[in-house]
Amino acid sequence: MVGYSCITSMLYVAFTTSNNKYLDLFETFVEAMFWIDLFLNFIQSFKHPETLEIVTDLKGIAKNYIFKGWFIIDFVSVFPFQHFIPQGQITKLFRLARLPRLIKLIDISKF
């Protein structure tokens, strides 16, 4: 999904969006998956860097995700700017905010 979104984001910035209703439906599905990913990150446990304990406390997970994690990048990549800003070149450029998610996908430290 991330790779598809990165490629289509670059295409939509360079060219116009599609008028195909099935492609629009698939784009909506992809958007929904990104929103679900955003919310699931608030309940995903993590290993504390100093104590190496697994943190399962929801408040601790949320604090870590918001202040030390990818929350800002994830939120900017899923926020529907096109609904709040008139259509134009600027709203197309906001789609490029999804590209840093590709880095998260290819994070070498997870291997």
What are the structural domain ranges in the chain?
2-110
* pLDDT of 45 over the 70 cut: yes
Mean pLDDT of 56-83: 86
Q: Report the C-alpha gap between 6 and 100 in whole angstroms.
A: 9
Check residue 59 and give its pLDDT: 93
Cβ contact 88:101 at 8 Å: no
pLDDT over threshold 70, residue 106:
no
Average pLDDT, the chain: 78
pTM (2 decimals)?
0.67
